[in-house]
Amino acid sequence: MKVLICEDHLLMRRGLLRLLTSLFTPPPVFLEAENGWQAIDLLQQHPDVSVMLLDIQMEELNGIDTLREIRKRGWKTPVIVLTQYDEQALVLHLQELGISGFLHKNSDPAELAAAIRMAAAGGVFYNELLPDQKPHRDARNLNFSARELEIVQLLARGLTSREIGTHLNLSTDTVDEHRQRILQKTNTRNVAELVGLAARVGML
């Protein structure tokens, strides 16, 4: 896996690098950019980037303009936005620009790892409430079976139902039934919301 970190603060970049090195085995290959133009140059040189982590507030070509430039060039690189801002209007605007994830900078590290795995696999991850979301139930108060906990953890690793079935010796239909039951228990709409909730309450 190759991860491009676009963040204008050196300490933040290096902190993310150390954190992700500890969360992934083997660790990803890292590329670093301190502004949007550097990130675009690196993407041109490394079209095999698996995921890009993008800050919004940068002095030289901010995150939104960087994302617009990337999409204008037709590049499909999965982009996860890491920011201190959490306005719903911003999230919706970034969705329109085709981001693969949105996380606040104070998110749990397990959420970040789950978001990267999901984005690299072609999925989408958000840990901020969007306008039509219902409040989640607290997973700590739910009676999950051991099998359901296993499935949540495997979903957080980005595995598909078929892959989970192979891993647990279950049929794909059985895994899908477990998934639907877990989503109903937690009032989550999709795997991204489920994994975010699980990370926040220490299930991962």
Residues in the chain: 204
Q: Are residues 59 and 104 in the same domain?
A: yes
Question: If pLDDT is split at 50, 70 and 90, which confidence band does 94 have?
Answer: confident
- pLDDT(196) > 70: yes
What DSSP string describes 97-141? TT-SEEEETT--HHHHHHHHHHHHTT--EE-S--TTPPPPP-GGG
pTM for the model stands at 0.67
Read off the pLDDT of each residue in 25-38 and give the average, rounded to a whole number: 94
Identify each DSSP E strand in the chain by its residue range. 2-6, 29-33, 51-55, 79-83, 101-104, 125-126
Give the separation between CA 18 and CA 127, rounded to whole angstroms: 22
Measured between alpha carbons, how far is 156 from 182 in angstroms, rounded to an integer?
A: 13
Beta bridge partners of 33: 6
* Total count of domains within the chain: 2
> 168: domain CATH number?
1.10.10.10
d(CA 126, CA 101): 5
- Residue 33 inside a domain? The answer is yes
Rounded average pLDDT over 133-147: 58
Among 98, 126, 154, which residue terminates a domain? 126
Structural domain that includes position 7: 2-126
Q: Is the N-terminal amide bond of 27 cis, ω within 30° of 0?
A: no
* pLDDT in the model for residue 86: 66
CB of 151 within 8 A of CB of 182? yes
Determine the pLDDT at residue 186: 83
Q: What integer pLDDT is reported at residue 15 of this predicted model?
A: 93
So what's the pLDDT on residue 135? Answer: 45
60: CATH: 3.40.50.2300
Kindly state whether residues 113 and 148 are assigned to the same domain: no
131 pLDDT exceeds 50? no
Mean pLDDT of the chain: 84
Question: Are residues 71 and 103 located together in one domain of the fold?
Answer: yes
Q: How many CA atoms lie less than 13 Å away from 24 in the CB half-sphere?
A: 23
